[in-house]
Amino acid sequence: MNFENQVVLITGASQGIGRCLAIDFAKQGATVVGCGRSRERLQETLDEIRAVSPMSTVIACDVGDRAQVRAMVSAAVEDFGKIDILINNAGIGMRRPFAETSLDTVEEIMRTNFLGMVYCTHEVLPSMVTRGDGHIVNISSGSGHIGTLNMTAYCASKFAMNGFSESLYHELRPLGIYVSLVSPGPVETDFSRSFADVPPKSPPSLAVTPQAVSRAVIKTIERRRFEVVMPRWLALVCRLKRIAPNLFRAAAQRTFRRHVVGKAPRGI
């Protein structure tokens, strides 16, 4: 697929997967619009992508703020006339028992991971529908398929993203607009490292690099696939859960149980 003359909007482009995506799309000839909350880190991304894509730009934006998203998308459309591809990548997370998690934290995670995706998608859709063309890629997680101990808010945000994406796929496909969902395992970024040592630790075999995720996203767009779970080992685990959910849940409970904080009542 030729990405020349394509305008690609990437959220969370200041680091990690988002920065890799911005660099890779710029190298393939796309005009990249990267957004993120950190102006300093966005500038670092811009310095890299401008070397191969002089028209590319970055816009500081908190995707959890509806007004900021509207202004960001409006500015991008005004400057470039369209957005061909939207990649909803921005996300935050943590690992902590739900009973010890403040509701403010839960709301912040849902606002960034889920509502931020909703806001961005809602803003870019009118121009895509008018043109009868476009592609929306949502970066989910293995935690959007498998409930993970001490990650209730994060899992909830990604499960919500998955359901949203599947429903939106059916709405938009007849209109010429594609929706894709990419679910990687733990990604080797500062995001994952911030709680990598908090139990239960993810198996090393499920880990992927930001570069691998970026390549998977580009391939998914080229092949117009709806869903990709990576690595293959994680895809097999997710398939097992679908086939034998009760067996899978029992095995997971045996694994997670020793990491539960607190004492269970007698008889449980």
Is the distance from CB of 145 to CB of 238 less than 8 angstroms? Answer: yes
| pLDDT tens track for 218-263 | 999 999 999 999 999 999 999 999 999 999 899 988 888 887 866 5
| pLDDT tens track for 150-172 | 999 999 999 999 999 999 999 99
Distance CA 127, CA 84 (A): 9
pLDDT for residue 2: 83
| Beta-ladder partners of 208 | 187
Is the distance from CB of 191 to CB of 93 less than 8 angstroms? Answer: yes
* Catalytic residue annotation: 154
Is the distance from CB of 92 to CB of 69 less than 8 angstroms? Answer: no
Phi and psi based region of residue 236 (left: phi greater than 0; alpha: psi -120 to 50; beta: remaining): alpha
Residue 190 has pLDDT above 80, yes or no: no
Residue 268 has pLDDT above 50, yes or no: no
Superfamily of chain region 7-259: NAD(P)-binding Rossmann-like Domain (3.40.50.720)
Distance CA 78, CA 75 (A): 5
Q: 17, exposed or middle or buried, with CB in 10 Å at 0-12, 13-18, 19+?
A: buried
| pLDDT tens track for 193-215 | 556 566 667 777 788 999 999 99
Is the distance from CB of 24 to CB of 39 less than 8 angstroms? Answer: no
Question: Reading across the β-sheet that carries 177-184, which strands appear in turn?
Answer: 57-60, 31-36, 7-11, 85-88, 134-139, 177-184, 227-230
pTM above 0.85, yes or no: yes
| pLDDT tens track for 60-79 | 999 999 999 999 999 999 99
| Beta-ladder partners of 87 | 10, 137
Q: Which residue from 175, 170, 234, 241 is spatially nearest to 208, judged by alpha carbons?
A: 234
- The full set of domain ranges for the chain reads 7-259
Distance CA 210, CA 191 (A): 11
| Alpha helix ranges (H) inside the chain | 16-27, 39-50, 66-80, 103-110, 116-131, 152-172, 190-193, 210-223, 232-243, 245-256
